[in-house]
C-alpha cells in the first residue's frame, strides 16, 4: 500500500477535495443575488421598499437603472440576476390606501436561485405591508408568524452536505477501491496464489476486506474533523453511536464492492461498474437533492440504496442528536440490506475463487 | 511424511457444461519424481493441475495429493504443496524480500524460523542480490525465480509448476531447471507442464494429454517407442496433427 501511490492518493486526497468542493460549491442557499433598481417613484416610500428588499439578504442592490431597457440589458449581461421596478404611482397608491404594486423581475434560468429570490421578495413585501398597516392603524398586527429553523438555524448547506460527503466517500472507498483492488489481485494472479495457501477462504476474505473498513473509518474521521474545523459542522449527537452505525453501512458497501469484483473481468470494468453504482447514490439518496421532491420511481430506487438510510442516521446524529430509538427504522433496514448484500456477495466470491 | 504416492488420481473428471476438459484421468506420480505433463493447448493440463491444487473442484472421480484427498482434506494438501502459475502471482509493489516474507507468513512461518529459512532459501536460489528490489521492476527471469522461491518458501513436499518457463530467455530457463533439480534433490516431488521439448526431456517421466485424455505415460524412451517417433517433439507434433484431424473429422461429420 505504501508504494501504491495512486490508491493512497485516492484514499486520502479524495476526502479533502470532495469536502471542500461540495461544501463550498454546493451552496444551495441563495444569498446576495445582484439586483438593479428602476425607481420611477423616487419617494421616501419607494426607498423604504428598496431598503427592506436589500435587508432580506437575498438581494444585493448593485445599482440603479434609468429605464426598463437598461434593466433588461443588465440582466442579459448577467451583471444582475434580478431587477426591482417601482412604478411612478407607487407612493400615490400607497398614500391613498390602494394596493401599491412593485415588480420583481428575476432571471429564472437557474430555477433554484430564482425560486429563493421570488419567495424572498414576496416575504419582504408582506413584511413591509404589515408594518405599514400597523403604522396606519396604530395597532399590533393580528397574527405574527415566527419561523424558527431548527437544527440548522443559519440554513447553511455545508452543514447539510458534510454528513453526506462522509456517506458518499465511504461508498467510493468501499465499492470502487475495494472492487478494483480485488480485481487487480485476480488479474495479477496473486488471488489464485493465495487460494492455494493453507489460509482459509474466510480469513482470506476478511484479510482483504478489513483494511478497507479501517480506511473507511480514517476517511470518516478526516471529513468529520475538517467539517468541524472549516464549516463549523456541529456534532450534536454521540460520536460512538455514529461510528457504530457506520459498520452496517460499510458492510453493505463492501458487499457491493465484492459483488462488483466477482462480475468485473478487468479493473477498468470494475471502475465503470462502481461509477454506475455511484451515480444513483449521489443523485437519489438525498445527498444533494431532497428525496421528497423526487417522482415516485426515483424515490423507490433511493429506497434500495444503503446510503439513503445511512444519511438519515448520519444527519440525525450529527445535526439533531437523535438516539437509537429515533432512527431505529432506517437502522434496521440498513442492517437488513447489509446482511443481504454481504451474504450474496460472499457466496459469489467463494465460487469465483474455487 | 506418508509413503503414499505423491499424486494418485482415479477417473478424475472435469466438465465445463457440455465440454469435458479432463476425461476419466488415472495418473500416478511417485515420490521424488520430476514429472512432466505435456499436451497441446487446451488438452487439459492446467485444469488437471488446478484440480490437484484445490483451485477447482472435480466433477467426477477422486484425487489424492501427498496422501490426502483433494476434496475432503484440501487444507492438509495446501499446507504441503507449492504452486507456481504462469502469471507468477507476485505483488509488484512489494520488494523481493517482502514478497517472500508475505508468502512465508501465509504458510505459517514466523519470527526467527522465518528469517533463517528465507535467508537460506534466497541464497540457494540466488535471490540475495535483489533482496530489496521491487518485484515489479524485475526482469522476466528474475520474476520467475522469485515466484519459484515464494512457492517453495515453506519447503513443500510437492511442487506444481504450470508452464513456469513461458516467456523467459534460454539462460534463465537453464537456471530455472538447475533450481528445480536442487529442489528435487531434497526430495520434493515436482509436476511441471511445458511446451518446450528440451524441458520435457529433463523430466524423469512424462504423461501426454490430448483432448482431456491421458494417451501416453512413461520415460522419454518409452513414449517415443510407443508412438514410433524419433523424438518427443515428433510425438507432440504427431499428436497435435491427430487432434486437428479429429476436430476436422467431427466438423465434417456434423456437416454431412
Q: In Å, how far is A190's CA from the nearest CA of chain B?
A: 4
- What ranges make up the beta strands (E) of chain A? 33-39, 59-64, 82-86, 103-106
ipTM entry? 0.85
Look up residue A268 and give its three cell numbers.
477498468
Nearest to B91 among A190, A192, A198 (CB): A190
Digit-coded pLDDT (tens) for B109-139: 999 999 999 999 998 888 999 999 999 999 8
Contact A193 B83 (CB under 8 A): yes
Report the distance separating Cα A19 and Cα A282, nearest Å.
14
CA A303/CA A291 separation, integer angstroms: 10
Q: Which three cell numbers stand for residue A88?
A: 411612478
Calculate how close chain A gets to B240, using CA atoms only, in Å.
29
What sign for the dihedral angle of Cα A121, A124, A127, A133? negative
Distance, CA of A193 to CA of B87 (rounded, Å): 9
pLDDT in tens, B186-234: 899 999 998 888 888 899 999 999 888 998 899 988 988 888 888 888 8
Q: How far is CA B57 from CA A185, A240, B15, B53, in A?
A: 21, 45, 10, 10
What distance in Å separates the CA atoms of residue B34 and residue B219, rounded to the nearest whole number?
11
> How much of chain B exceeds pLDDT 70, in percent?
95
Q: If you ran DSSP here, which 8-state letter would residue A100 be given?
A: P
DSSP-H helix ranges across chain B: 45-52, 74-80, 96-106, 111-124, 140-152, 170-185, 197-200, 220-227, 232-255
Predicted local distance difference test score (pLDDT) of residue A156:
67
Residues of A in contact with B89 (CB under 8 A): 188-194
pLDDT for position A284: 87
CA-based R_g, chain A, Å: 27
Confidence of residue B248 (pLDDT cuts 50, 70, 90): low
Q: Is A329 on the interface with B (CB under 8 A)?
A: no
| φ/ψ of residue B63, rounded to 5 | -150, 140
* Chain A CA closest to residue B84: A193
Strand B60-65 vs strand B7-16: parallel, antiparallel, or unpaired? antiparallel
Q: Which three cell numbers stand for residue A66?
A: 434609468
**CB proximity B56 to A under 8 Å:** yes
Which chain B residues are closer than 8 Å to A197 by Cβ?
78, 103, 106-107
Residues 200 through 219 of chain A touching chain B, CB cutoff 8 Å: 200
Q: Is A193 on the interface with B (CB under 8 A)?
A: yes
pLDDT of B2 strictly over 70: no
Q: Are A15 and A223 in contact (CB under 8 A)?
A: yes
- pLDDT (tens digit, 9 = 90+) per residue, A179-193? 998 899 888 889 889
Residues A306, A231 contacting (CB under 8 angstroms): no
Inter-chain CB proximity B89 and A3 less than 8 Å: no
Q: β-strands A59-64, A33-39: how paired? A: parallel
Residue B88 sits at the chain A interface (C-beta within 8 Å): yes
Model pLDDT, residue B3: 61
Amino acid at each position: 500500500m505504501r508504494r501504491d501511490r495512486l490508491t493512497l492518493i485516492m484514499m486520502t486526497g479524495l476526502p479533502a477535495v470532495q469536502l471542500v468542493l461540495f461544501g463550498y460549491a454546493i451552496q444551495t442557499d441563495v444569498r446576495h443575488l445582484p439586483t438593479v433598481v428602476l425607481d420611477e417613484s423616487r419617494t421616501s416610500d419607494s426607498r423604504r421598499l428598496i431598503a427592506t428588499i436589500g435587508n432580506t439578504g437575498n438581494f444585493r442592490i448593485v445599482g440603479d437603472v434609468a429605464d426598463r431597457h437598461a434593466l433588461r440589458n443588465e440582466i442579459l449581461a448577467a451583471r444582475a440576476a434580478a431587477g426591482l421596478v417601482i412604478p411612478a404611482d407607487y407612493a400615490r397608491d400607497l398614500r391613498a390606501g390602494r394596493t401599491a404594486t412593485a415588480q420583481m423581475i428575476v432571471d429564472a434560468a437557474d430555477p433554484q436561485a430564482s425560486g429563493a429570490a421570488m419567495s424572498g421578495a414576496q416575504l419582504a413585501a408582506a413584511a413591509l405591508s404589515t408594518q405599514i398597516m400597523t403604522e396606519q392603524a396604530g395597532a399590533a398586527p393580528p397574527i405574527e408568524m415566527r419561523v424558527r429553523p431548527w437544527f440548522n438555524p443559519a440554513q447553511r448547506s455545508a452543514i447539510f452536505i458534510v454528513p453526506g460527503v462522509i456517506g458518499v466517500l465511504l461508498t467510493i472507498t468501499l465499492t470502487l477501491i475495494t472492487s478494483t483492488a480485488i480485481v487487480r489481485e485476480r488479474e495479477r494472479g496473486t488471488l489464485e496464489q493465495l487460494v492455494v495457501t493453507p489460509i482459509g477462504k474466510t480469513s482470506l476474505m476478511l484479510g482483504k476486506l478489513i483494511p478497507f473498513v479501517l480506511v473507511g473509518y480514517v476517511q470518516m474521521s478526516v471529513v468529520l474533523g475538517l467539517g468541524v474545523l472549516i464549516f463549523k459542522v456541529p456534532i450534536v449527537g454521540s460520536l460512538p453511536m455514529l461510528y457504530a452505525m457506520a459498520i452496517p453501512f460499510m458492510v453493505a458497501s463492501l458487499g457491493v464492492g465484492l459483488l462488483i469484483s466477482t462480475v468485473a473481468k478487468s479493473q477498468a470494468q470494475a471502475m465503470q461498474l462502481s461509477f454506475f453504482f455511484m451515480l444513483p447514490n449521489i443523485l437519489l439518496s438525498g445527498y444533494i437533492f431532497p428525496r421528497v421532491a423526487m417522482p415516485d420511481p426515483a424515490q423507490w430506487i433511493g429506497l434500495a440504496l444503503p446510503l439513503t438510510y445511512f444519511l438519515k442516521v448520519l444527519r440525525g446524529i450529527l445535526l439533531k442528536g437523535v438516539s437509537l430509538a429515533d432512527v431505529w427504522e432506517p437502522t434496521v433496514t440498513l442492517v437488513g440490506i447489509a446482511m443481504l448484500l454481504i451474504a450474496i456477495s460472499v457466496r459469489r466470491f467463494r465460487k469465483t475463487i474455487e | 511424511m506418508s509413503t503414499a504416492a505423491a499424486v494418485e488420481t482415479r477417473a478424475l473428471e472435469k466438465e465445463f457444461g457440455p465440454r469435458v476438459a479432463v476425461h476419466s484421468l488415472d495418473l500416478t506420480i511417485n515420490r521424488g519424481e520430476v514429472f512432466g505433463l505435456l499436451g497441446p493447448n487446451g488438452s487439459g493440463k492446467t485444469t488437471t493441475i488446478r484440480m490437484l491444487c484445490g483451485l477447482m473442484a472435480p466433477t467426477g472421480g477422486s484425487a489424492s495429493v501427498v496422501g490426502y484427498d483433494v476434496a475432503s482434506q484440501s487444507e492438509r494438501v495446501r499446507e504441503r504443496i507449492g504452486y507456481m502459475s504462469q502469471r507468477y502471482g507476485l505483488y509488484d509493489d512489494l520488494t523481493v524480500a517482502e514478497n517472500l516474507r508475505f508468502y512465508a507468513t501465509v504458510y505459517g512461518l514466523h519470527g526467527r524460523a522465518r528469517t533463517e529459512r528465507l535467508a537460506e532459501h534466497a541464497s540457494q536460489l540466488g535471490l540475495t542480490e535483489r533482496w530489496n528490489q521491487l518485484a515489479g521492476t524485475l526482469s522476466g527471469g528474475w520474476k520467475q525465480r522469485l515466484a519459484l522461491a515464494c512457492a517453495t518458501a515453506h519447503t513443500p513436499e510437492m511442487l506444481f509448476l504450470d508452464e513456469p518457463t513461458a516467456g523467459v530467455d534460454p539462460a534463465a530457463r537453464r537456471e530455472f531447471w538447475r533450481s528445480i533439480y536442487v529442489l528435487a534433490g531434497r526430495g520434493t516431488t515436482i509436476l511441471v507442464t511445458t511446451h518446450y521439448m528440451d524441458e520435457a526431456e529433463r523430466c524423469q517421466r512424462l504423461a501426454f494429454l490430448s483432448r482431456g485424455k491421458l494417451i501416453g505415460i512413461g520415460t522419454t524412451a518409452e513414449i517415443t517407442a510407443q508412438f514410433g517417433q524419433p523424438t518427443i517433439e515428433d510425438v507432440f507434433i504427431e499428436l497435435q496433427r491427430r487432434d486437428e484431424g479429429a476436430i476436422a473429422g467431427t466438423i465434417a461429420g456434423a456437416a454431412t
